[in-house]
Every structure is written in C-alpha cells, then in structure tokens.
Amino acid sequence: MKVEEVINAALAYLGENDYDAGKDKAQDDKIKLLERCVNIMLTEIAQEYLPLVDECEVVAEDNRFSYEQIPRRVSRIVSVKDKDGNKISFRQRSFSCNVDVNGRLKIAYRYLPSQVKIGEDCDVDPAVSEKTLALGVCAEYSMISGMYEQSEGFAERFREDMRSCVRPSRSVTIKSRGWY
C-alpha cells in the first residue's frame, strides 16, 4: 500500500476530505505531520505487533560482525547459522554481535522499517490493512494535535484491528463419528 493512500484514508476518518495527499498538497504542514505519523505507526507495528523478518549473509571477524553489514536497521537478531546450517550461539551488542566462530554466517533478524515519504510503499506485514494503519495514524495525529478523547477512540479501534491481525487463524475440525 502507498503512503498517500493511508494518509487519504486517515484524512477521511478525521473528516478532512478537502485534502489529498497525492496531489498538490504534499508540501502542506498537515500532510507532512500525517507522513510522520505513518512512519511512527509503521515502526510501532514492527516493534510491538508484527515484526518484519529478513535473512542475509555476513562475515564474522574476531568473533563478531558489525550491523553495518546488514542492509536494514536491525531491531533484534533471531538466529545465526554457519555455512553448514548449524546454529551458532551469539550475544547481541549495541553495534555488533559476538559469535563463537569466524567466517561467513547466515543470520535471520528482525528489522525496523525505513522512513517512507509520499509516493513510496509502506514496509508493513501484509496482514495489516490500509484501514488499520490509517486508524493508527489518526490516533497518533490526534494525540499530537491535542485531541485526546478522539485519539483514545482511534487508538482503541486500532488496537482492536491489530488484535485481529495478530490472532492466529485456527482450522475447525469435526471429529468423525462412528455408526452404531
């Protein structure tokens, strides 16, 4: 989903239909603030609800590798494996990760989404809908603007939608019955 789609949906929830994020209003202060709110909500969703996970290869020297080798902003290292696929123990530090071996390693990590602007795609889990993200943006925007009661209403609707995104889907099975 595009940033301007989320902002336009948020503007509709806020009752501000005279704005359009995709048109000539991109330099407007309200649109810029909503763009910041989109980035805040993308980070919150990735940290608290649905983490973004990726894998890459790094080279460990002196029993550590730097996060500068990883293409995205690291939130947390999930696993480290050597070239044979064996798990390696690791200790995460502020700017690097200590490991027991040197050489080429494959890591799985959680990352934070990069800052997005109007015209770009949102880096968010596919389970999150445009509506859910727009409600979160409205909650954040209302809080920043001092509309606390309205913010709490949007925040509650956002949390309810996120619960449905995070909830695992269960398959219903019916026990087979015997004939007597």
Q: Are residues 144 and 96 in the same domain?
A: no
- Which residue in 69, 161, 162 sits closest to 107, CA to CA? 69
Please give the single-letter amino acid code of residue 65.
F
Say if residues 120 and 2 touch (Cβ distance below 8 Å). yes
Determine the pLDDT at residue 18.
Answer: 73
Determine the pLDDT at residue 16.
Answer: 85
pLDDT tens digit sequence for 33-83: 999 999 999 999 999 999 999 999 999 999 999 999 999 999 999 999 998
Q: Are residues 56 and 43 in the same domain?
A: no
Q: Are residues 105 and 63 in the same domain?
A: yes
Q: Are residues 130 and 45 in the same domain?
A: yes
Q: Specify the number of domains making up the chain.
A: 2
Determine the pLDDT at residue 99.
Answer: 94
pLDDT tens digit sequence for 79-105: 999 989 999 999 999 999 999 999 999
Identify the band that residue 171 occupies on the pLDDT scale cut at 50, 70 and 90: low
Q: Which domain holds residue 81?
A: 52-112
Q: Is the pTM of this model over 0.85?
A: no
- Which residue in 69, 121, 131 sits closest to 96, CA to CA? 69
- Which residue in 159, 165, 160 sits closest to 140, CA to CA? 159
Q: Which residues pair with 107 in a beta bridge?
A: 56, 80
Determine the pLDDT at residue 174.
Answer: 72
Answer whether residue 179 is part of any domain: no
How much is the average pLDDT of 23-35?
77
Identify the band that residue 168 occupies on the pLDDT scale cut at 50, 70 and 90: low
Q: What is the DSSP string of 16-72?
A: -TT--TTTGGGGSHHHHHHHHHHHHHHHHIIIIIS-EEEEEEEEEBTTEEEGGGSSS
Distance CA(75)–CA(78), nearest Å, equals 10
Answer whether residue 19 is part of any domain: yes
Q: Are residues 93 and 133 in the same domain?
A: no
Determine the pLDDT at residue 27.
Answer: 65
Answer whether residue 21 is part of any domain: yes
pLDDT tens digit sequence for 103-158: 999 999 999 999 999 889 998 988 899 999 999 999 999 999 999 999 999 999 99
Say if residues 51 and 38 touch (Cβ distance below 8 Å). no
Determine the pLDDT at residue 13.
Answer: 94
